Each structure stands twice: as structure tokens, then as C-alpha cells.
Amino acid sequence: MIQSGPRNLITDVDGLSVGNAVDKRARTGVTVVLPQDGAVASVDVRGAAPGTRETDLLDPTCMIERIDGICLSGGSVHGLGAGDAVVGWLHDQGRGFALGSWRLPIVPGAIIFDLGIGGETDWGRCPSYADLARAACEGAGLDFPLGNIGAGLGACAGRLKGGLGSASAITDDGLQVAALVVANPVGAVVMPGSGTLWSWALERNGEMGRQHPPGPLSGVEEELPVEARIGGNTTLAVVATNATLDKAQAKRVAMMAHDGMARAIRPVHTPFDGDTVFALSTTRIALPQPAQRAVARIGAIAADCLTRAIGRAVYAAEPLGDVPSYRQSHADAFADKTRTG
């Protein structure tokens, strides 16, 4: 039996904490995922416009086995510097890859484009992504809100406000799998001619407002939803498990998890998105045997969690500037009109 974890967040995977920080004036932010004892990690990038750091190191053929953090940031290229601040913070904690007397924190990361959301982005007075990253690290914990928070503050999902989302799954045999997402796609998250989220079928315990099943669809949208924002998109995700994976197995889980995006966003992996999925293993329990079957099971659950996390991100998001929220635009599509996350 599979059920949501107690928080229904990625922190239901033992050993993980998450921190968020925002600059409300600039309408941007940073999200960090911090594994307590490091984590085995890999990545799969399928969007054609990614902005990333340290992803080559996560290839199974490369040397480093464990990473010390993941940094997700708004700000497009300006936000890549947030990862440097996470490295500095971890170094101050004495954490990182040991090389002689040196400690070298390994912090892969990725960015979204959120410059078109209407914030004050005079880059002569650029938001300090370093300060945001340090604040996110200092505030990291087990509980965090969804929607307009962290790297999701300036995110948009097609014509609607996007945001930060998360979801988890726990099995009877102690397996923990979860996802964290910054939902900022060019594609639509709502079925055309309907107010129902594409994610609706995987909803658990009313986490998306108790979605109504969709009626007959009017057809697939022929055009991308927000032509003015073409090139200003990307969905970033971290999926995690407590099962012990090696880098090659984590890579397969990241690849499988991309199917979770495809169930929640249409179209996905476009030339205008930088869709990226990181996969983490906190190595708290042995991988069940046979190993390949266990990896397939973890990848399938991770994909489902990612679909749910995208739905939760959009459902929890609040309007920002002239970008409406899902709950504002489709109040008739779900039964719970008071729930906000």
C-alpha cells in the first residue's frame, strides 16, 4: 500500500531539509535542498533551454559519488550565483567532499526565468541571490509552504501563476519517495475547455482542492499558452528516496520521473523550457531486491509524486501582478474553495 507521507513534502524522505527565501520587491527567490549526510545524486535534462551548474559531475561515469546540496533559483543567469553562496555556507559548516585537508561542498543547481513577472529588476541593483541563498540555508527545516515561495515566487505555469510544489509517498515496507518542483512551464497545466488540472487523476486526500473529474475535452490547444513569455520558462524538480541507489540507478529514476511532468504539463520539454530533474538517494535503507525491479518501482512512484507536486504548486499559488492564480480562474473545478495549500 502507498500513502502520502505525514507532511506530504519531500522532507518525508529521511535526511532531507528544505529552505526558501524570497525578494518580494524583485518577485524572485531561492530554494535549497540539504541532505543531512550528503546524498547520491544524478540528473536528467530534457528541456532545450536549461541553465544549470555542476550537472556534468552527476553523470555516472564521473568521480564524485555524493552531493551536499541542491540550489534552485529564479533570476535566470543572475541566479546561478546562488549556488556559490550555498557552497560557502556548507563550507562554514565543515561539510563537503574531503580532499586532503580541504572540504569541497558539491552543490548542483538550476535556474528558472522569472524576470517577466513584473518585479523590480534593475540589474544595477540586482537582488542578492547570494543573500537569498544563505537565508534559505539558515532557515532550512522539515516544514515549508507551497505556492509563492522560494524559487517558485516568480514562476508562471502557462497563463496561470506557477509556484513551488511538493508531494510524497510512503510504502508499507518503509520505502520513502518524494518530489519537489518549481513549476514554471510554457505549457498548460489545465485541460483545455475545462478547469481541471492535468494532474487531477493522481490527487490524494484533497491536496489539489478535490478536483472534479473532467468532462469531454474541447481538444488540445493549438498554440502555446503565453506567446509573450516564450523563452521565459522551465520546470525544475528534485525527486528523492531513502533507498540506497548508485549514480546510474539515480539517473534512471530521474529519467523516469520526467514522465510525471508529461502527465501534468502539455506540451512539455519544449525548445523554450529548461526542464531538469535531479534525483537524490539519502541511502537510509537497503535497496530491495531484485535491484532493477526496485529501481523501476521507485522511478514510477517518483513520477507520480512529481505529477502531484506540479498540481499542488499550481493549486497553492496566489495571483501575482497581472498573472492570475488557478483558484482565481477556475473556482468551479474543485470542491474545496477554501483550501490554500
Domain with 108 in it: what CATH number?
3.60.70.12
> Looking at the domain assignment, is residue 338 inside a domain?
no
What's the total number of domains in the chain? 1
Q: What is the pLDDT of residues 98-133, one digit of tens each?
A: 777 788 999 999 999 998 787 776 655 566 899 999
Q: What is the pLDDT of residues 47-89, one digit of tens each?
A: 888 999 999 999 999 988 899 999 999 999 999 999 999 999 9
Q: What is the pLDDT of residue 97?
A: 83
What pTM does this model have?
0.94
> Looking at the domain assignment, is residue 341 inside a domain?
no
Q: What is the pLDDT of residue 228?
A: 42
> Looking at the domain assignment, is residue 67 inside a domain?
yes
Which among 146, 179, 136 has a CA at the least distance from the CA of 13?
A: 179
Q: What is the pLDDT of residues 159-193, one digit of tens each?
A: 899 999 999 999 999 999 999 999 999 999 999 88
Residue span of the structural domain in which 262 resides: 2-333
> Cell 541507489, residue?
245
> Looking at the domain assignment, is residue 339 inside a domain?
no
105 cis-preceded (ω within 30 degrees of 0): no
Distances (CA, A) of 63 to 109, 154, 293: 18, 35, 26
Which among 109, 190, 188 has a CA at the least distance from the CA of 150?
A: 109
> Looking at the domain assignment, is residue 264 inside a domain?
yes
Distance CA 253, CA 303 (A): 8
Half-sphere exposure of 189 (CA within 13 A, CB side): 33
